[in-house]
């Protein structure tokens, strides 16, 4: 009887599981949008400031928000990769913390740019908002092997501390302790450059919300670097 | 030993024999029932396995056929020119488009390249592709805020290099595209610009305006990583 019940449960699980899948995928968006020629002409997508005295398009505040979004996005991706690559709960918790925190912060920075009436992105090179002191603070030990200062030129997607495509591919290919070690190495480099960027924003931004978040990043990521160095040492790397 | 005793003994022996026979019958009956139950279990188990395998097989068939030709039939994406959607950039056409996810259908797009409409449930990873990518995945990336630059396979190499420089940023897709009526097309969800030259200043204006735009990106804040494709 137990076996029969198990068999019935198994069939039911398969059937309901499939029904659930198809229910999820069947409808996930707007209904067909009909042409509306009689509707008034609008120009959606042209940003407008919704706060007084917003930072300018070339300000430290805007540059920090735009560049740190991209910088954070890669950290989120690395965290997801290592969570797929290892069962180690400490590393998975750290990765969860980094992914959820940095994704939340990306959303905060997107919100600022929208309120300031600025575009989310620019075709100008990254890191132009950094001060000379900030840039020099980032050189040396904050750079990953093979990365060189000064700031990336047009068409170079990598800001300081960011992993190359080859490094990301390598992280994806690794499992277990090897994945943990690679993740820790890449994320320490990533965080150190992120801290230098955030410190420069803390020193030079004009907006309270920017300074507050930048200060939080400096503190949290500095602390996480220390934790990751401990984890790395525990793995003999 | 008296006859009564003998009779009692006989009776007892007979009772014992009867009981033994009964026990034997019960045991045999139990054995038959157990065998039947095992047969039923095997039958049910096999049936369940067949159903499960069939379902899994069906899912595999769907996934496999997805790459060659989806099993769910054809669907024409519902997309219309929207004369009321203007752009600050000269030459940009606005569209309204349906957004449903269609994992199993062969989706036909009437715009070349598509500007929106029903699409696959998995998006294309943003980045630079040297070969064409599938419309159904690229359209999902548009929904997430990407700008997709497509170029004719006959476009001069120096022009392609200029486009690659523009596409080396997040939320950008670049791929060759056959059959366009312009050498280069720049597309976001619901907006499209056709240009002849990579140096046309409207390309950068388009990218800056529509990439990750809170008003025109349907799934503002969604990712352009973690999907399909291995861009260079």
| Measured CA angle at B148 (ends B142, B152), to 5 deg | 140
B217 near B121, Cβ under 8 Å? Answer: no
Q: Report how far apart, in Å, the C-alpha atoms of B184 and of each of B141, B177, B210 are.
A: 19, 9, 17
Q: Give B168's DSSP letter.
A: S
Q: Please, which residues bridge with residue B149 across strands?
A: B174, B186
**ipTM of this predicted complex?**
0.78
CATH 1.20.1260.10 residue spans of chain A: 60-234
Residue with tokens 């039947």: B36
CA distance A102 to chain B (A): 13
A44 to chain B: nearest residue by CA?
B215
Bridging pattern class, strands B147-151 and B172-176: parallel
Interchain CB distance below 8 Å, A35 and B81 = yes
Query: How far apart are the two ends of chain A, measured CA to CA in Å?
Result: 54
pLDDT at B1 (0 to 100): 40
> What pLDDT is stored for residue A19 in this prediction?
41
Contact residues for B100 (Cβ-Cβ < 8 A; gap 6+): A27, A28, A29, A30, B118
Mutate to test the interface with B, among A3, A16, A69, A120 (most CBs of B within 10 A): A120
CA nearest to A46 within chain B? B209
The nearest alpha carbon in chain A to B86 belongs to: A43
> What pLDDT was estimated at residue B21?
62
Looking at beta carbons, which residues of chain B come within 8 Å of A73? 170, 223, 225
Per-chain mean pLDDT for chain B: 84
Q: Is B76 left (phi over 0), alpha (psi -120 to 50) or beta?
A: beta
Nearest alpha-carbon partner for B124 in B187, B181, B194: B187
Q: What is the dihedral of CA A4, A5, A7, A11, to 10 degrees?
A: 140
Band (pLDDT 50/70/90 cuts) for residue B62 is: very low
Instruction: Specify the pTM.
Output: 0.76
Cα torsion angle, A77, A81, A82, A87, sign: positive
Mutation target among B43, B164, B168, B218 for the A interface, most CBs of A within 10 A:
B168
Question: Given A7, A33, A43, which is nearest B45 (Cβ)?
Answer: A7
Tokens of B232: 């260079």
Residue of A nearest to B41 (CA): A4
Distance between CA atoms of B169 and B217, rounded to whole angstroms?
17
Q: Looking at per-residue confidence, does B218 or A149 come out higher?
A: B218
Give residue-wise pLDDT tens across range B133-181.
Answer: 999 999 999 999 999 999 999 999 999 999 999 999 999 999 999 999 9
Beta carbons of B170 and B144 less than 8 angstroms apart: no
Give the H or E element holding residue B127. strand B127-128
- CATH homologous superfamily of A60-234 equals Ferritin, core subunit, four-helix bundle (1.20.1260.10)
Tell me the CA distances in angstroms from B130 to A70, A97, B89, B114, B165, one per residue in order: 23, 36, 28, 19, 14
d(CA A121, nearest CA chain B) in Å: 6
CA distance A40 to chain B (A): 6
DSSP state of A207: -
Q: Which regions of chain A are under pLDDT 50?
A: 1-32, 141-142, 144-155
């Amino acid at each position: 009887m137990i076996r029969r019940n198990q068999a019935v449960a198994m069939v039911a699980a398969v059937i309901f599981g499939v029904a659930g899948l198809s229910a999820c995928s069947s409808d996930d968006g707007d209904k067909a949008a009909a042409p509306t020629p009689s509707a008034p002409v609008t120009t959606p997508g042209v940003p407008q400031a919704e706060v007084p005295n917003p930072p300018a398009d070339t300000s430290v505040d805007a540059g920090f928000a735009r560049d740190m979004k991209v910088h954070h996005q890669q950290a989120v991706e690395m965290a997801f990769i290592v969570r797929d690559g290892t069962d180690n709960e400490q590393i998975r918790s750290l990765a969860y913390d980094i992914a959820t925190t940095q994704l939340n912060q990306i959303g905060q920075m997107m919100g600022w740019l929208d309120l300031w009436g600025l575009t989310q992105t620019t075709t100008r090179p990254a890191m132009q908002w950094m001060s000379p002191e900030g840039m020099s603070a980032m050189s040396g030990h904050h750079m990953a092997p093979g990365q060189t200062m000064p700031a990336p030129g047009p068409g170079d997607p990598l800001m300081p501390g960011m992993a190359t495509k080859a490094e990301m591919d390598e992280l994806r290919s690794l499992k277990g302790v090897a994945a943990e070690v690679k993740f820790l190495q890449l994320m320490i480099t990533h965080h150190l450059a992120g801290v230098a960027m955030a410190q420069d924003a803390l020193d030079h931004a004009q907006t309270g919300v920017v300074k507050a978040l930048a200060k939080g990043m400096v503190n949290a990521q500095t602390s996480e670097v220390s934790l990751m160095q401990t984890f790395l040492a525990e793995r003999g790397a | 030993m008296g006859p009564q005793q003998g009779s009692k003994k006989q009776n007892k022996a007979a009772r014992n024999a009867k009981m033994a026979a009964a026990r034997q019958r019960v045991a045999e009956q139990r054995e038959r029932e157990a065998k039947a139950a095992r047969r039923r279990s095997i039958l049910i188990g096999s049936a369940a396995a067949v159903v499960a395998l069939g379902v899994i097989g069906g899912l595999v068939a769907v996934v496999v056929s997805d790459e060659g030709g989806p099993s769910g039939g054809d669907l024409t994406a519902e997309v219309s020119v929207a004369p009321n959607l203007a752009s600050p950039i000269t030459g940009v056409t606005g569209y309204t488009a349906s957004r449903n996810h269609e994992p199993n259908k062969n989706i036909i797009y009437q715009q070349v390249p598509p500007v929106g409409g029903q699409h696959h449930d998995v998006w294309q990873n943003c980045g630079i592709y040297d070969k064409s990518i599938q419309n159904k995945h690229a359209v999902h990336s548009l929904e997430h805020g990407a700008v997709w630059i497509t170029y004719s396979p006959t476009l001069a190499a120096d022009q392609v290099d200029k486009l690659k420089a523009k596409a080396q940023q997040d939320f950008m897709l670049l791929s060759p595209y056959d059959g366009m009526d312009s050498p280069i097309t720049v597309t976001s969800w619901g907006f499209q610009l056709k240009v002849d030259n990579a140096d046309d200043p409207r390309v950068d204006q388009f990218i800056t305006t529509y990439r990750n735009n809170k008003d025109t990106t349907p799934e503002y804040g969604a990712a352009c990583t973690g999907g399909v494709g291995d861009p260079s």
